[in-house]
Chains A and B, each alone.
Chain A
Amino acid sequence: METLLLNTLNGLSWGMLLFLIAVGLTTVFGVLGVLNFAHGSLFMLGAYLCMQSMQYFDSFWLGLLIGPLCAAVLGVLVEKYLLKRVYGRDVSYQLLLTFAILLILDDGVRMIWGSGYHVVDPPAILSGIISITGQDYPVYRIFLIIIGPIIGTLLWSFFHFTKWGKIIRAASFDNIMAEGVGINVPMIYTAVFALGTWLAALGGALAAPQQSLVPSMGEKIIIESFIVVVIGGMGSFPGAFVGALLLGLLGSFGTVFAGNMQMAIPYILMAAILMIRPNGLFKKGV
């Protein structure tokens, strides 16, 4: 019973991080039509920037605020000067460009911060351990489980109840029509990519206190969030949520059931779902 609970909590906390990454990925894909290979590197960059600004300001919360914002500024530059030139080109060029950005970011971070491990301590209020049915459990993971749905709800409300959110949804639904009714679509594209970058970096900053920072930390999560986005339905907001939780829980329970082979579970799941529903579980619609 306790293992069941602990596995569920572990799965949920990983799933929430995955959700933050995947929702950025899926929004960018939904609006820009580009699947961003560098999304995981932006997650990694977010963690490093959070660490750096945390050391500078001596506060985790300021790091959480400023780190992802710096990444978002970088996102604006990447979209304006690089991505903008490959819209409408063949998929292979788009993938290759974002793959190139991944290489630059990973190696760039390695140059600046070195390839060794870095550790970020959680803030004092979240650093303890609480007892759940007699088992010790880190408070920080509980925090992740709570913060995930909060950010998700805020994002969803933003997309559905604010003017800007509605404009973004319109542009993702039909960008030519949106342009026709006077929406500045290129600017929307830049803004959406910056938002996606911010979300990835925020995920990285939130992940920083519970995993060690290495330049390759984006690699695991990018592949998993690809899977989330594919099984949830590319460009679908609820799909990203369901997919992320599914994958997070499968990851933590997979170790119990499949042992050594749990690494293969996400891929089998993805293949199975794509065969039954080639477009994923949910329809596109941010």
Chain B
Amino acid sequence: MMQGQQRRNLLGPALLTVLLLIAPLMIPIYWTMILSEILIMGLMAISFNLLLGYTGLLSFGQGAFFGLGAYSAALMLQGGYENLFLILFVGMLVAMLAALAVGIFSVQLDEIFFAMITLGFGMLFFSVAHNWRTVTGGSDGLPVFSLPSLNFFGSQLTFYAPVNMYYLIFVLVFIGCSLLWLIVHSPFGLILKALRENKQRVSFVGGNVKILRIAAFAISGAFTGLAGVLFCLFNNMATPEFMHWSFSAKPVIMSVIGGTSVFLGPLFGAAIFFVLEQIIIQFTENWMLFLGIVLVFIVLFFPEGVFGTLRNKFFKQGSK
């Protein structure tokens, strides 16, 4: 029965994967680029939700790790290191080490205090990126002039065309999400959920709350860094804004819009966020005002996020 349930749960994601694979063939270039952005921010939001939805930690400093990934990629490309795998590896590693350091100091706090200290650390990275002009380019950011290419069965694959870039992003986001899915459904993921429900009990049965939380924070940081690397390649730019708290608010918004209790919820949240933006900016410059109104509406009327609430309404299954 467990097997049947698992199989049914995989049907949706499989369908989504196929749709995302063929999407660029059917939509205009502009929307392919929007879709690329949705995938990147979706990966960031899903790795953020490893903390909020699964571990019960509200991090308000994810932008720092996203930015560190982006800056690592930009610095390596400027320095002439053009191996894609090396860039991905270093970007994730740097973000993970930073998350490890921040995590060690932050995880003893809970709820709003955790949100505040991570916000503080995020802004610490922001002020360094913003003021250390010689390395980070200050508020102008670091531009990227050449993108890495890939040797694909003998032919050189470049990523300057938006469609090629889309597939690169798609493959890496797919791998990232699959790894996160495996983590969430591993025994480790189960302990994280236990932490969310009651950390005292985890500690009573012998779990080391601090180390478990640090591990979750570092993993989340690494995948957020991966999203940052991808965004730097996509955007040809790393800027300090990635580390600002208002950027760190984005995965929070996306996760809550989509629903924190569903694995792919944050990805849907990202999609809703970007599509809304595209629709609203056609009518008005004041997109923030309308985003605010939509957010108020969602917080008040969709207690489990749009996706989560709809799912519960139609399938009446509350299991996580």
A interface residue numbers (CB < 8 A to B): 35, 82, 85-86, 89, 91-93, 95-97, 99-104, 106-108, 110-111, 219, 223, 226-227, 230, 234, 260-261, 263-264, 266-268, 270-271, 274-275, 278-279
Shortest distance in angstroms between B10's beta carbon and chain A's nearest beta carbon?
A: 28
Instruction: Say yes or no: is B1 at the interface (Cβ < 8 Å to chain A).
Output: no
Do most interface residues of chain B lie in helix, strand or loop, or is the interface mixed?
helix
The 8 Å CB contact of A100, one of B108, B117, B123, B292, is B292
Shortest distance in angstroms between A18's beta carbon and chain B's nearest beta carbon?
A: 16
CA distance A108 to B255 in the complex (A): 25
Contact A226 B119 (CB under 8 A): yes
Instruction: Say yes or no: is B105 at the interface (Cβ < 8 Å to chain A).
Output: yes
Chain A residues with CB under 8 A of B291: 100, 103
Given known A92-B58, A103-B295, A227-B120, contact A85–B300 (CB-CB < 8 A): yes
Can you list 22 contacts pairing A with B, beta carbon distance less than 8 Å?
A86-B299, A93-B299, A93-B303, A96-B252, A96-B256, A96-B295, A99-B253, A100-B293, A100-B296, A103-B288, A103-B289, A104-B296, A110-B286, A111-B286, A227-B120, A230-B113, A230-B117, A267-B120, A271-B105, A274-B113, A278-B113, A279-B113
B interface residue numbers (CB < 8 A to A): 52, 58, 60, 105, 108-109, 111-113, 115-117, 119-121, 123-124, 127-128, 130-132, 245-246, 249, 252-253, 255-256, 260, 286, 288-289, 291-293, 295-296, 299-300, 303
Contact A278 B299 (CB under 8 A): no
Contact B117 A107 (CB under 8 A): no
The 8 Å CB contact of A271, one of B120, B256, B288, is B120
Chain A residues with CB under 8 A of B295: 96-97, 99-100, 103
- Beyond known contacts A111-B289, A267-B127: 19 more, CB 8 A cutoff: A86-B299, A91-B58, A96-B295, A97-B299, A100-B299, A101-B292, A104-B288, A107-B289, A108-B289, A110-B286, A234-B112, A261-B127, A261-B131, A263-B130, A263-B131, A264-B128, A271-B121, A274-B105, A274-B109
Contact A264 B120 (CB under 8 A): no
